[in-house]
A and B are shown apart, each in its own frame.
Chain A
Amino acid sequence: MPADRPTDPVGKHAAGANAAAPQGVQGVQLDPVLDALDPDRDRPAHVIETRRLTLHFGSKPILSSIDMAFERGSVTALIGPTGSGKSTFLRTLNRMNDKVRGFRTDGDVVLEGRSIWAPGTDLLELRRRVGMLFQRPNPFPMSIRDNVVAGVRAHRIARGKQLDVVAEQRLREVGLWDAVKDRLGDSPFRLSGGQQQLLCLARALAVGPDVLLLDEPTSSLDPISTEYVEALLRQLAPALTLIVVTHNLAQARRVSRTTMFFYDGRLVEHGPTDALFEHPSDPQTERYVTGRIG
C-alpha cells in the first residue's frame, strides 16, 4: 500500500477498524473499543444477500438459485469462464438488467435488509448506493472535472463551489489529481486508458456508494495501470464493499478475501479465497483454478 495515499479513502471509517482483521480470517472478535468506533456496527453485517436468485433471459436460464451473502467491507471476486453468468449476476445487483428484454428473476436480492425490487424502492438511490465500474473506461463527453462530479450533480449531493472540492478530493483519492489538476477543463478522452478508468472510479466514488460492482475493471488496462488499480481497490475495501468480476485468477487471489466460482450458470463453490484456490472442494473448481478448463 503506497504511503502517500490516505489509508481511508472514502472517509467513513475510523482508520483501520476492520483492516485490523487479517486477510482470509472471518468472524474474528474485534476489540470492543475498536468495535464501538465502527460507524457500521448497527447495520447488518451483510450488505447484500441473494436469496435463491434465479435469472432468465426469455426461456433461457442464466443462473440458478444463488444464495450468497456479501460481508460489509469485504472484497469478493467472481471467477468463472466466459458465459458462466458472473457478469449477469453482477449487473443484477444494481438492476442494470431490468430493462433487458426478456429478463426475469426469481428469488431476491436484499440490500441492507430490503429487497432491491421492493415496491417503492428508488432505483436511482439504489444505483447511488451500489456503484459500478465497467470493463472499459466510459468517461462522459464533458470536462474531466464535470466527469467526476456528474453523479454528484445528478443526485444533488453538492453544488456550486462545493463541486470543485468534491472533484479535487475524489481525484486525489484515486491518485489522479497531480496528473490532471492543470487540465480539469480538458476532454477526458485525451487521458490514457488507465487514467480514464481511474477517472471513472473517482466518478463512481464521488456519490458515496456502499457497494462497488466492478466488471473486469482492469481487462483493458496495461499491467502497470492494473497493478495500480488493484492497490487502490485493496485500499477501498474496509470502507466499501467490493464485488469484482475477473478473468484474471492471479488478480482474484491478490485482491479478494472471498471468491465465488461460477460455472455454467451455477455457483459451484464459494469461500475464502486462499482456501478456494489451495484446497478447492469441487473438482470443477480445481480444474478451473489450475487452468485445465477455462
Chain B
Amino acid sequence: MTTLEGAAGDTPAAPRRFDRARRPPLRRVADVLRSGETHAWRWGARIAVLLPVAGLLFAVTVLALKAYPAIKVNGSPFFTGSGFKIGSTYAVTVHTAGVAHPKGSFYGAWPLIAGTLQTSAIAVVVALPVSVGCAFALTERLPAIVSRPLGFAIELLAGVPSVVLGLWGVLTFGPWLAKTLYPLLANNLPDVPVLDFFKGTVGHGEGLLTGGLVLSLMIVPIITATTADLFRQVPTLPKEGGEALGMTDFEVAQRVTLRWVRSGIIGATALGLGRALGETMAVVLTVGAIFKVAPNVYSPMSTIAAAIATQLDSALTDGTGFAVASYAELALVLAVISVLVNLAARWVVRRTSHLGGPVGRAA
C-alpha cells in the first residue's frame, strides 16, 4: 500500500482526479440524481425490451397449458375433421386419455382454418393492388393539394372501429354486392375449373366474399400508408434515369420504383395479412356463422377468430372445461398461423431484398 502511494506521489504529472467531495453540496445531489438517471434509463430500457417478449411467452404458455387436454384428446382430426360439438352436457362425463369430457363431444376445426385462410387471402389479393395503386397515386401522381387530404382520409379509414365496418358490411355493403356485383360474377365467368368457386347461389350478401372484401377495406389503409412511405424513399435519380432512357411512366413505376421497394411491400402485406387473419368483429358480422367449408364464395362460413368470439359463451356451459380447452387449442392454431405467415414474409423479404434499391442507406 505504502509503495503504491509512494509511486503515485513520485509522478508529478499525474492528472488531478475529479474530487467528488470538493463539489458544492447542491451539485453533489445533482450528481447523484444524474448517475441515478443513467441507471434508471438503462434498466428502463432493458425492461421495456423484455416486456413484449415476456408478454408473448406468457400468453402462449397459458394458452398451451389450457389447450393441452384438448390437444391430447382431439388429436389430428382437429385439423382435418369438420364440426364443433360440445356433446351432451347432461349425460355422463366420459374420460379419454385421462381427460374428462362430455359424451359425444367432437372438435374438427378444418372449416375454420380454411375459412380464416380464405377470407385473409381474398382480403390481401384485393387490397394489395388497390393499396399499391393508391400509394403510387398519392406519392407520384397527384399534386400535394389533393394527395395530402386524401392520404389523411385513408389513414382515418385505418381508425374506423371494425364493428362499424362490420355493421356497414352486413347492412349496406353486402346486400348491395349481392344485388349488383355477385350476380354479374356468378353468371358471366368463363368455364374455367378454378372459377367454379365463383359460381352458385348468390344469397343475401352474407358470406366469404363479403367478409373478404370488408377485410380488404380494413387492411388497405395499413398497406397504403406503409407503401406510400416506401415510395417516398425512392430517390429521384433512378426514376429520372428510366425516363431519360425512354421508358414510359408505367415502365418506370413497374421496373424502377416498385422494384426499389419490393421487399418492403411484401413486409407491408404481411402486416395487413396479420391483421386480416386475426380480425374478429368485422368478420363475425359479415360472414354468417356456418362451420362448414364454403362451397362457393357467396356461402356463409366462419373463421377461427369469429368462432372463438361467438362460441366461447356456450363453451363455458361445458362443466368439464373441455370445450374451453378446445377453443384454447383453436386460438393456439391461429397464433401459430400468424407466426408462420410472418416468418414466411421475412423469408421472402430476405430472398427478394438483394436486388432492391438501397433504402435507408445513402443511395
Contact = CB atoms under 8 A, between A and B. Distances in A.
B245 A141 contact: no
A186 B355 CA distance: 7
B237 A134 contact: yes
A189 B240 CA distance: 17
A134 B259 CA distance: 20
B231 to A, nearest CB: 13
Interface in A55-114: 94, 96
B244 to A, nearest CB: 4
A127 B251 contact: no
A154 interface: yes
Interface string A119-136: 000011111100110111
Interface stretch (A25-33, A35-43, A200-208): A200-208
A140 B259 contact: yes
A71 B238 CA distance: 30
A142 B246 CA distance: 17
Given A134-B237, A150-B255, A154-B251, A141 B357 contact: yes
Contact of A138 (B238, B247, B259, B355): B238
Interface string A148-172: 0011001100000000000000000
A260 B356 CA distance: 39
Given A142-B259, A143-B355, A150 B237 contact: no
Which label, helix, strand, loop or mixed, suits the secondary structure of the B interface?
Answer: helix
A200 B240 CA distance: 12
A187 interface: yes
B243 A127 contact: yes
B245 A187 contact: no
A139 interface: yes
B129 interface: no
Interface in B227-246: 235, 237-238, 240-246
B244 A189 contact: no
B246 A140 contact: no
B256 A127 contact: no
Interface residues of A, number: 30
Given A96-B240, A134-B241, A200-B241, A141 B247 contact: no
A155 B354 contact: no
Contacts of A187: 354-355
A203 B248 CA distance: 16
Given A124-B248, A189-B358, A204-B245, A138 B240 contact: yes
Contacts of B235: 138
A236 B241 CA distance: 20
A125 B245 CA distance: 9
Residue from A94, A150, A207 with most neighbouring chain B CB atoms (10 Å): A150
A142 B244 contact: no
A103 B20 CA distance: 67
A138 B357 contact: no
B260 to A, nearest CB: 5
A127 B245 contact: yes
B141 to A, nearest CB: 11
Contact of A151 (B240, B246, B354): B246
Contacts of A136: 237
A141 B256 contact: yes
A150 B242 contact: yes
A127 B248 CA distance: 11
Interface string A254-271: 000000000000000000
A274 B321 CA distance: 96
A139 B355 CA distance: 11
B94 to A, nearest CB: 62
A143 B243 CA distance: 19
Interface in A233-273: none
Contact of B244 (A96, A125, A143): A96
A140 B246 CA distance: 14
Given A124-B246, A154-B246, A154-B247, A189 B357 contact: yes
Contact of B237 (A124, A127, A131, A138): A138
A136 B358 CA distance: 14
Contacts of B358: 189
A140 B243 contact: no
Contacts of A151: 245-247
Interface string B341-363: 00000000000001111100000
Given A134-B237, A138-B237, A203 B255 contact: no
Given A124-B246, A127-B246, A138 B251 contact: no
20 contacts: A127-B244, A132-B245, A138-B238, A139-B241, A140-B241, A140-B256, A141-B260, A142-B259, A143-B355, A150-B247, A151-B247, A154-B245, A154-B246, A155-B246, A186-B354, A187-B354, A187-B355, A189-B358, A203-B241, A204-B245
Given A138-B237, A150-B247, A186-B354, 8 more contacts: A96-B244, A124-B247, A134-B244, A138-B235, A139-B238, A141-B256, A141-B262, A207-B246
Interface of A: 94, 96, 123-128, 131-132, 134-136, 138-143, 150-151, 154-155, 186-187, 189, 200, 203-204, 207
Interface of B: 235, 237-238, 240-248, 251, 255-256, 259-260, 262, 354-358
